[in-house]
Structure 1
Amino acid sequence: MDPASFATLIVELAHAQQVVKYLTVASIVLVVADILDSLALEVSLSSTRV
């Protein structure tokens, strides 16, 4: 494998790693948003029961 294609491979791997990082962060944000949404729904339901 010549150095140029090896460098290209390294760059591609770095990009892939960043994509994985962004997807992980996005997943965490969605999970947290879902939990907060569930809590807000629970609070609104309990306040309407009174």
Structure 2
Amino acid sequence: MSDLENVEPDRWGTFDCPDCGAPCHVSWVECGSCDRPLVGHKEESSP
């Protein structure tokens, strides 16, 4: 039961997807419009 999961995306901030140009939530790793893998503030261990 974590309130962080129910927090409004606007509190995390948004950015424009470099591929489809739609506003994506920074807290998400994937774009909500084109489902492209994007780099949010959650950085996995990748080169």
Smaller-chain TM-score bracket = under 0.3
Higher relative contact order (CA 8 A, sep 6+): 2
**TM-score between both structures, scaled by the size of structure 2:** 0.21
Which structure shows the bigger proportion of residues in helix conformation? Answer: 1
